[in-house]
């Protein structure tokens, strides 16, 4: 018996026994499943879910994170501020995965961490896609958590 004939026999037996098994399974499944009425379904949307404080939280609510101290690579600085920005700041609604960096001279920078093969590609991306939404945006480079 050749290996090919073993495969053909195995395939035929799987098909033959598999269809018989499926027929047995199909006989045990009720033809009509009980339906849940729409009156009992939850009606709260993401916007209506309550936070711990009891206030509603919008669906676009994003949390910015501290820039990792060991990050090396490219970033896009969206904006700077003297004080920490609130979580509902308009740029956080448009951009996700925002990190903040406490600047040496005081204040905060809000940065997107991105992966690009070179700085030219990063600058093109900033000019064409980010600046229309964040006019103060600029490309930055980090080496072990420090700007270069």
pLDDT at 77 over 60: yes
Q: How far is CA 89 from CA 55, 79, 93, 102, in A?
A: 17, 11, 7, 17
- The pLDDT assigned to 134 comes to 94
- Nearby residues of 74 by Cβ (< 8 Å), 6 or more positions away: 113, 114, 115, 116, 119, 122, 139, 140, 141, 142
Please tell me the predicted confidence (pLDDT) of residue 2. 74
Distance CA 142, CA 72 (A): 5
Stated pTM of the model? 0.58
| Residue ranges of domains in the chain, CATH in brackets | 65-147 (3.30.70)
Please indicate whether residue 119 or residue 12 has the higher confidence score (pLDDT).
119
> Does position 93 have pLDDT exceeding 60, yes or no?
yes
pLDDT band at 89 (very low <50, low <70, confident <90, very high): confident
Q: What tokens does 31 get?
A: 């033809």
**Burial category of 123 from C-beta neighbours within 10 Å (exposed 0-12, middle 13-18, buried 19 and up):** middle
Q: What Å distances lie between residue 101 and 8, 41, 54, 70, 72, CA to CA?
A: 64, 44, 30, 12, 14
Contact between 97 and 110 (Cβ < 8 Å): no
Residue 8: the pLDDT is 72
Q: What integer pLDDT is reported at residue 96 of this predicted model?
A: 83
Is the torsion defined by CA of 63, 67, 69, 70 positive or negative? positive
């Amino acid at each position: 018996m050749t290996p090919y004939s073993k495969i053909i026999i195995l395939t035929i037996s799987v098909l033959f026994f598999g269809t018989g098994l499926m027929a047995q399974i199909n006989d045990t499944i009720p033809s009509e499943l009980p339906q849940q009425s729409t009156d009992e379904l939850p009606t709260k949307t993401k916007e209506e879910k309550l936070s711990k404080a009891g206030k509603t939280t919008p669906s676009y609510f994003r949390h910015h994170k501290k820039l990792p101290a060991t990050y090396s690579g490219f970033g896009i600085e969206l904006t700077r501020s003297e004080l920490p920005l609130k979580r509902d700041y308009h740029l956080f609604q448009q951009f996700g995965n925002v990190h903040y960096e406490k600047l040496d001279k005081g204040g905060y920078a809000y940065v997107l961490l991105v992966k690009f093969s070179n700085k030219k590609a990063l600058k093109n991306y900033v000019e064409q896609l980010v600046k229309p939404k964040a006019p103060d945006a600029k490309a930055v480079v980090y080496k072990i958590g420090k700007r270069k």
